[in-house]
Amino acid sequence: MSGQSLIDAVRAHASRVFPGRALETLGWDEGGVVRNLADFAVVRVAPAAGGASDLWIHLSAGASAAPMEDGYGLEFVLLTRAPEKLATKLLAMVANLHADDRYPLSLGQALEIGHGWLPGASADHLLVALPTLFDPELEWLSDASRNVRFIWLVPITRAEAEFARKHGHEALQEKLGAARADVAALVRESVV
């Protein structure tokens, strides 16, 4: 496995964590969004056939090429209700930002996007959070040549971002969980 490219390793990891689900590898080369990354792709995981969930899972592959001071690199996870092309763009933008030494992302950070996370969405921020909604195996990809941690980008509203900054991201995640907030929904009420 150590000879695999990062993109191939992320794809193999997704295949192990989500067995039997269709995978697609997508690139994004429009508008110079990934200028800080040598190679970048998104591995899109289709919903399980006949499964209870209709969620599409998008995993970045390329943000972790340069490990952080902690010795591991970050990749990002985004959920959508449909196979959204713009989810690839959003992940490319976040990965590119993270690859810039001036703007590394960290757990608990609320990232302002400047517009809805997808067209028509009420959430215009992303919370950088642990991937607690997923199989625990998703969080880490480690082999002889890499240590990668997958972090969930949770779409949140401006009010929720302000709440997280004031009270901590764990408090916001508790509120999202208690409200059973559908964070993949384009339009949803703030939980704060």
Q: Are 34 and 62 in contact (CB under 8 A)?
A: yes
pLDDT at 10: 96
pLDDT at 191 over 60: yes
Calpha distance 126→184 (Å, rounded): 12
pLDDT range class, residue 72, cuts 50, 70, 90: confident
pLDDT tens sequence across 165-184: 999 999 999 999 999 999 99
Average pLDDT over residues 73-84: 92
In this prediction, residue 32 carries a pLDDT of: 65
Residue 98: both structure tokens together:
């993270």
Position 1 scores a pLDDT of 46
pTM: 0.91
- Per-residue pLDDT for 134 more than 90? no
pLDDT at 31: 66
Give the mean model confidence (pLDDT) for residues 72-91.
Answer: 91
Q: Quick check: 36 pLDDT over 80?
A: no
Tokens of 41: 């792709």
d(CA 54, CA 185): 11
Tell me: the pLDDT tens digits for 88-132? 999 999 998 888 888 889 899 999 999 999 999 999 999 999 988
* CA separation, residue 159 to residues 81, 149, 172 (Å): 23, 28, 10
**Over the range 49-60, which residues count as b (16 or more CB within 10 Å of their CB) and which as e?**
eeeeeebbbbbb
**Helices and strands (H and E) in the chain: how many:** 4, 8
d(CA 118, CA 116): 5
Res 22: pLDDT = 95
pLDDT number for residue 16: 96
Domain assignments of the chain as residue spans, ordered by start:
6-178
Provide the pLDDT for residue 119: 93
- Is residue 99 exposed (0-12), middle (13-18) or buried (19+ Cβ within 10 Å)? buried
